[in-house]
Amino acid sequence: EAASSGGGFMRWLLPLLGVLLLGWLGLKFFGGNADEQLSEAGTTTETAATAAAGDALSGDVSAVSDGLTGFFGSATETFTGITDADSATAALPQLQEMGTSLGGLSEKFQSVPEAARGPLTDIVSKGTESLNPLIEKAMGLPGVGDILKPAVGPIQEALQGLGG
C-alpha cells in the first residue's frame, strides 16, 4: 500500500518548498527593501523637481531669447523703412506695440536668474549696437524726430534696462 500512495508526505512537501523558494526569490529580487524603495522614491522626486526647475529656467531663457531676437528683427525692419514723416507716422503704432512687448520681455528677463542672463545680455547689447544707428538716422530725418519720440523713448529705456 505504501508503494501505491507514492510517498505521501513528500508529494506535498516538495511543491510547497518550491513555491516558498520562488516567493522568497521574487521578494528578494523584485520586492527590494522598503527603506531602499523610499530612498529611491525620494531621489526620483528630487530629480524630477530639479529637472522641472531646469526646464522652466530653460523655457524662460529661450522665450526671452526668442522674443529679443524677434524684437530686434522687427525693429530693424521698421526703422529701415522710415524715410520721411509719412512713413514715420505709419510706423508709429507698430513701434508703440514693440515698446510694449519689449516691456513684457524686460519683466521676463528680470525673472531669469542672474547667472543665466549672460547670453540674453549679449543679444541685447549686439542688437542695440546695430539698432541705434538706424534709430538715429530715422530720428534725424526732417519732421520725423518729433513723430517717433513718444515711441522711441520707451524702447531705448527698456533696452538700457536690459543692459543694452
> DSSP of 54-95, one letter per residue?
HHHHHHHHHHHHHHHHHHHHHHHHHHHT--SHHHHHHHHHHH
pLDDT per residue over 63-110, tens digit each? 899 999 999 999 999 999 999 999 999 999 999 999 999 988 888 888
Residue 5 pLDDT greater than 90, yes or no: no
Under the banding of pLDDT at 50, 70 and 90, the label for residue 55 is very low
Residue 143 pLDDT greater than 70, yes or no: yes
Q: Which whole-number Å values give the CA distances from 140 to 22, 31, 45, 89, in the listed order? A: 88, 78, 59, 15
Query: Would you call 151 helix, strand, or coil by DSSP?
Result: helix
The length of the chain in residues reads 164
**Residue partners of 127: CB distance under 8 A and separation at least 6:** 68, 69, 71, 72, 159, 164
pTM above 0.85, yes or no: no
Q: Which of 127, 157, 135, 154 is nearest to 88 (CA)?
A: 135
pLDDT per residue over 97-110, tens digit each? 999 999 888 888 88
Instruction: Give the end-to-end CA distance of the chain in Å, rounded to a whole number.
Output: 103
Under the banding of pLDDT at 50, 70 and 90, the label for residue 36 is low
Percent of the chain predicted with pLDDT > 90: 45
